[in-house]
Amino acid sequence: MAEPMKIRTQLSGDLVAIKVLIGHVMETGQRKDPRTGQVIPAHFIKQLSVGLNGKTVIAAQWGGAISKDPFLGLKVKGAKAGDKITVHWEDSKGEKNSAEATVG
């Protein structure tokens, strides 16, 4: 089960700064278990999108080399207080998660 996502927004003028914190193992598939010597299978977020009022404004594709529990900072223009920011991701095992925040 995916851990909850944290989204913070900060509005200055019509520019909203978005900070996202995602709980995810981000396993590269390159690492070996030190005890068993077995390669730990890859498990990482592949696709992520950020929407402003339901319209996708940023679409990202990731590899396994984004740090564990990914942090993301982004900026979007043309926002106002009360707008909805949504973040959605899908990982290499097909797990998904979405979260929503209101621009304050």
Partner 1 sequence: MNELNELRRALLKGGCAAGLVAFAASAGLLVPGRALAAEWNKSAFEAKNVADVLKGLGASGVADSKDILIKASDVAENGAVIPVEVTSQIAGTQSITILADKNPLPLLAMFEFVDGAQGYVSTRIKMGQTSNVRVVVKAGGKYYSAAKEIKVTIGGCGG
- Tell me which residues touch partner 1 (CB under 8 A): 15, 26, 28, 30-34, 46-47, 49-50, 52, 55-68, 70-79
94: alpha, beta or left? (left if phi > 0; alpha if psi -120 to 50): left
Nearer to partner 1, 56 or 98 (CB): 56
Angle made by CA atoms 81, 86, 90, in degrees to the nearest 5: 165
Selection from 27, 25, 17 nearest residue 72 by Cα: 17
Q: What value, to the nearest 5°, has the Cα angle with vertex 43 and ends 49 and 60?
A: 20
The count of residues in the chain is 104
Least spacing, CB of residue 81 vs partner 1, in Å: 15
CB 70 to partner 1: min, Å: 7
CB atoms within 10 A of CB 6: 14
Nearer to partner 1, 2 or 58 (CB): 58
Nearest approach in angstroms of CB 34 to partner 1 is: 6
Cβ distance to partner 1 smaller for residue 64 or 99? 64
Q: Residue 59 Cβ, how far from partner 1 at the closest point, in Å?
A: 5
